């Protein structure tokens, strides 16, 4: 990809030509004009000649693909940055290997007040157990260490970190020699993150946003809250993102709202909604997702943990709707999802269904759905903010979901095709650092779901990861390259464009040029994913691949 040398200017007019532009305005577009931060025109190469002499810059795409920039609808930015710059245990194949990585990290970072790690998953280890406290104490050399499980709903810690949290042994979720959950986990997480200096935090946030930009992500939804981070971290991230060139950040603050005063405080924090990880339950991996029937591999009768009931959910949704604020919840287990549906429906009975639908409240994860709850999501206008990489990581007949739930229940998880058929809006994200920022991999995971009846077309998945994220914050005019839309786009080096759908009859029809269906990269498992050459947000380049 080559370009003319022109000074960077907020209001310069740019013509991109000689590639493929993914736009419903013209399925065969090869060129695009950007002016004052917005798409001004999309069309064919021949028509582009008329613009060439009147623009400030011409970019020769050299066959590259231009798409809307991705939106990751569920990110924990500081934690993502700390995982990028800190101890990453996600690649550990055994318990001994994880302990070895911890020993090496401790030796290489003697200045860290608290050792922060992430990403271990004992279900992938032959030992099938987490490290004991004694093993951690030895590997960490007696230093404070906080190592959350990959789902971040439980953690193993050293004795030295426990010593920094008075009264932790009396909190719910404390276990003498097992991962901490619940209130005990939140307390040690607060202590560990409190040891991170403002400089370390800002460095981590910058690292996360730089990484997102390098992957063609132009917008992230930060999911913060008092049980996840703190107000200082949340406010600092929003301030940093507004001040620097990089992906846009929309913040959600997960705290219950009872009245207009609470709603005003949420807005004063800079949040666009009292949503995100407002926990109705926990996670399947940590046995804390709330289920109607017990876990297959847990203690007899164990159905997980419920944090909010239907009445509390109804009160939150009612207060947020009356205040004109978006509400939302974290709900994974079927009992948790049922509680959300019951609560939102109760709010609709109070305020009227049109007001509830118009508020576009959202549910994060929404993994264990039934035909009845899928239909309720559609009826109530709920957005499903989902993470297809969860299925890629833990689905299948031998995956963690099957271990926790049994094969039959596990097959019902993450039914994206049913959600789309019912008309439920989808917004794709990563929940990074739970699973990595990886937008094309996320679309691939949805298109090649481990359970075949839940698969959706690449085009539908791509829409959920671009326009879907914008719709989830109430914007219908973005995440799409048409005249008037914000000029948030990415440029990709990729192979031939194709149309992929679960039903091959649809795919064959769609590849006929007469169908007017724009192609996308081949995401067949094993195929090389597109490489991001440039990411642009509101007309400004926020990432350019070196030497391209």
What are the tens digits of pLDDT across the range 189-240? 888 888 888 888 999 999 999 999 999 999 999 999 998 889 999 999 999 9
Alpha-carbon distance 238 to 232, whole Å? 10
Buried b (16+ CB within 10 A) or exposed e, 329-349: bbbbbbbbbbbbbbbbbbbbe
Residues in the chain: 548
Per-residue confidence (pLDDT) for residue 506, from 0 to 100: 47
3-state secondary structure of 52: helix
Extract the tokens encoding 534.
């440039």
Q: How far apart are CA 345 and CA 43, in angstroms?
A: 45
Q: What is the pLDDT of residue 1?
A: 60
- 67 SS3 class: strand
Q: Which helix (H) or strand (E) holds 427?
A: strand 426-428
Q: Give SS3 for 76.
A: coil
Cα separation of 341 and 258, whole Å? 19
Cα–Cα distance, 205 to 238 (Å, whole number) = 10
Q: What is the pLDDT of residue 380?
A: 98
- This model's pTM is above 0.85: yes
CA distances from 411 to 370, 395, 404 (A): 12, 8, 12
What pLDDT sits at residue 93? Answer: 95
The region of weakest confidence among 129-138, 173-182, 337-346, 387-396 is 173-182
Better-scored residue on pLDDT, 52 or 456: 456
Cβ neighbors of 475 (< 8 A, separation 6 or more) are none
What is the predicted pLDDT for the residue at 503? 66
**Domain spanning 77-195, CATH class:** alpha beta
Of 91-105, 119-133, 389-403, 491-505, minimum mean pLDDT range: 491-505
pLDDT bucket at 10, cuts 50 / 70 / 90? low
Asked whether the beta carbons of 233 and 246 are under 8 A apart, the reply is no
Q: How many CB atoms lie within 10 A of CB 496?
A: 7
* Angular region, 292: left φ>0, alpha ψ -120 to 50, beta rest: alpha
Phi, psi (deg, nearest 5) at residue 122: -65, -20
Give tens-digit pLDDT for 447-484: 999 999 999 999 999 999 999 999 999 999 999 999 99
Domain ranges of the chain: 13-68+481-494+530-544, 77-195, 198-473
In this prediction, residue 518 carries a pLDDT of 82
Determine the topology of domain 13-68+481-494+530-544 in CATH: Urease, subunit C; domain 1 (2.30.40)
Q: Which residue has the higher pLDDT, 336 or 176?
A: 336
Phi-psi region of 384 (alpha: psi -120 to 50; beta: other; left: phi over 0): beta
Spatial strand order in the sheet of 531-537: 20-21, 65-68, 489-493, 531-537, 540-544
Q: What is the mean pLDDT of residues 316-327?
A: 98
pLDDT confidence band for 499 (50 / 70 / 90): confident
CATH number of 198-473: 3.20.20.140
User: Residue 46 has what pLDDT?
Assistant: 86
41-50, 306-315, 383-392: least confident range: 41-50
Q: Cβ distance 115 to 144 under 8 Å?
A: yes
Neighbours of 157 (CB within 10 A): 29
Which letter does DSSP use for residue 246 in this model? S
pLDDT more than 90, % of the chain: 82
Q: Which two tokens stand for residue 27?
A: 């399925």
Token couple for 23: 């736009």
Domains 13-68+481-494+530-544 and 198-473 share a fold: no
| 3: pLDDT strictly greater than 90 | no
- In terms of pLDDT, which residue wins out, 286 or 3? 286
Sequence-ordered list of residues with C-beta below 8 angstroms from that of 385, at least 6 positions apart, any chain = 73, 74, 221, 328, 362, 363, 364, 365, 366, 427, 429, 472
pLDDT digits 0-9 by tens, 54-66: 899 999 999 999 9
362-403 confidence digits (pLDDT tens): 999 999 999 999 999 999 999 999 999 999 999 999 999 999
| Angstrom distance (rounded) from CA 211 to CA 444 | 20
Strand bridging mode 271-274 / 326-331: parallel
**Residue 433: is the preceding peptide bond cis (ω within 30°)?**
yes
Among 79, 94, 173, 169, which residue's Cα sits nearest to residue 130?
Answer: 94
DSSP 46: H
Candidates 228, 269, 476, 462; CA nearest to 360 is: 476
CB 230 within 8 A of CB 243: no
Please answer whether residues 275 and 316 qualify as being in contact, where contact means their C-beta atoms are separated by less than 8 angstroms: no
- Strands 14-17, 57-60: parallel, antiparallel or unpaired by DSSP? parallel
| Helices assigned H by DSSP within 215-289 | 231-243, 260-268
Rounded CA-CA distance 398/387 in Å is: 20
Say yes or no to pLDDT of 283 above 90.
yes
């Amino acid at each position: 990809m080559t370009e003319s040398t022109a000074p960077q200017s907020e209001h310069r007019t740019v013509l991109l030509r000689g590639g493929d532009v993914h736009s419903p305005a013209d399925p065969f577009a090869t060129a695009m004009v950007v002016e004052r931060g917005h798409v001004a025109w999309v069309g064919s190469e021949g028509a582009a000649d008329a613009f060439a002499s009147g623009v400030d810059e011409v970019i020769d795409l050299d066959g590259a693909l231009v798409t809307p920039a991705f939106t990751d609808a569920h990110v924990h930015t500081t934690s993502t940055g700390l995982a990028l710059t800190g101890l990453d245990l996600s690649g550990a194949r055994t318990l001994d290997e994880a302990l070895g990585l911890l020993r090496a990290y401790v030796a290489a970072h003697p200045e860290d007040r608290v050792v922060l790690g992430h990403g271990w998953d004992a279900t992938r280890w032959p030992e099938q157990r987490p490290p004991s406290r004694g093993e951690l104490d030895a590997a960490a050399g007696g230093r404070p260490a906080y190592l959350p499980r990959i789902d971040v709903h439980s953690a193993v810690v050293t004795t030295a970190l426990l010593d920094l949290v008075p009264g932790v042994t009396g909190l719910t979720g404390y276990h003498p020699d097992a991962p901490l959950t619940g209130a005990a986990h939140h307390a040690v997480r607060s202590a560990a993150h409190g040891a991170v200096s403002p400089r370390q935090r800002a460095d981590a946030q910058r690292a996360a946003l730089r990484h997102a930009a390098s992957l063609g992500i132009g917008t992230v939804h930060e999911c913060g809250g008092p049980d996840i981070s703190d107000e200082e971290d949340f406010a600092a991230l929003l301030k940093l993102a507004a001040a620097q060139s990089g992906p846009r950040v929309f913040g959600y603050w997960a705290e219950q709202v009872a009245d207009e005063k609470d709603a005003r405080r949420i807005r004063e924090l800079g949040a666009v909604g009292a949503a995100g990880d407002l926990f109705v339950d926990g996670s399947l991996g940590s046995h804390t997702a709330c289920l109607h029937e017990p876990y297959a591999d847990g203690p007899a009768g164990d159905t997980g943990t419920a944090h909010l009931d239907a009445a509390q959910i109804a009160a939150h949704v009612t207060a947020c709707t009356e205040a004109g604020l978006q509400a939302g919840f974290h709900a994974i287990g079927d009992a948790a999802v049922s509680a959300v549906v019951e609560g939102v429906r109760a709010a609709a009975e109070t305020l009227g269904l049109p007001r509830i639908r118009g508020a576009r409240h959202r549910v994060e994860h929404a993994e264990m759905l039934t035909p009845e709850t899928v239909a309720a999501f559609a009826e109530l206008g709920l957005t499903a903010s989902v993470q297809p990489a969860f299925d890629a990581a833990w689905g299948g007949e031998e995956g963690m979901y099957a271990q926790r739930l049994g094969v039959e229940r596990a097959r019902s998880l993450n039914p994206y095709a049913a959600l789309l058929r019912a008309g439920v809006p989808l917004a794709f994200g990563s929940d990074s650092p739970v699973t990595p920022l990886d937008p094309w991999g996320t679309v691939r995971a949805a298109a090649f779901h481990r359970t075949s009846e839940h698969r959706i077309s690449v085009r539908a998945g791509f829409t959920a990861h671009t326009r879907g994220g914008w719709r989830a914050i109430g914007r219908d005019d973005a995440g799409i390259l048409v005249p008037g839309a914000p000029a948030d786009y990415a440029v990709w080096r990729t192979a031939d464009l194709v149309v992929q759908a679960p039903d091959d009859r649809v795919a064959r029809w769609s590849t006929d040029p007469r169908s007017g269906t724009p192609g996308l990269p081949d995401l067949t498992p094993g195929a090389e994913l597109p490489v991001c050459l440039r990411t642009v947000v509101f007309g400004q380049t926020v990432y350019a691949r070196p030497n391209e």
